Amino acid sequence: MALNLPENLYNQVIVHLTSAYPHEGAGFLVGKELDDQRSVCMILALDNEWETNETHKRYKIMPNAFLEAENTAEKHGLGLIGVFHSHPDHPARPSEYDRRFALPWFSYLIISIYKNRVGHATSWLLSDNRDHFIEELLNIE
């Protein structure tokens, strides 16, 4: 599987995630899937709804945000294809927490932000048995 992300949308993701620093930022990837290619057509930036002082290492997306995002995607003839989030001052690799709460049909774009500067971007898929992530090809075009 490959995740194709236009550069202008990647830049929007970066603006959102760096503005959230030192906390985790998050949002939805909206687009289309064809064969082994997912193409992002829109991003939906979200507020981090985590309720404690752990927003520097956790993010929470509320159920109503999922519903609103699905409705927005549907209005544009698209679907939810993934989630993006930041790892402030940590590598762009999924954490155990990410694995426990991931959905196996989503792409997970993770971007490391170090001292409010962009580090590395990676994209991941949860394995069908949910015990590990598989890195997918990320094309920023």
- Looking at the predicted structure, is the pLDDT value of residue 132 above 70? yes
Return the structure tokens found at 129: 């048995």
Does residue 22 or residue 3 have the better pLDDT? 3
Return the structure tokens found at 48: 């981090």
pLDDT value of position 100: 93
pLDDT value of position 58: 76
Which residues pair with residue 118 across a beta bridge? 113
pLDDT in tens, 16-30: 999 999 999 999 999
pTM for this predicted structure: 0.94
Looking up tokens 């927003």 gives 55
Q: Give the chain's domains with CATH numbers.
A: 2-140 (3.40.140.10)
Return the structure tokens found at 71: 């409705």
pLDDT in tens, 46-100: 988 776 676 566 788 889 999 999 999 999 999 999 999 999 999 999 999 999 9
- How many CB atoms within 10 Å of residue 111? 23
Return the structure tokens found at 77: 């003839």
pLDDT in tens, 99-119: 999 999 999 999 999 998 999
E-only strand ranges, the chain: 2-5, 26-34, 37-46, 79-88, 107-114, 117-126, 133-140
Rounded Cα distance between 89 and 108, Å, is: 18
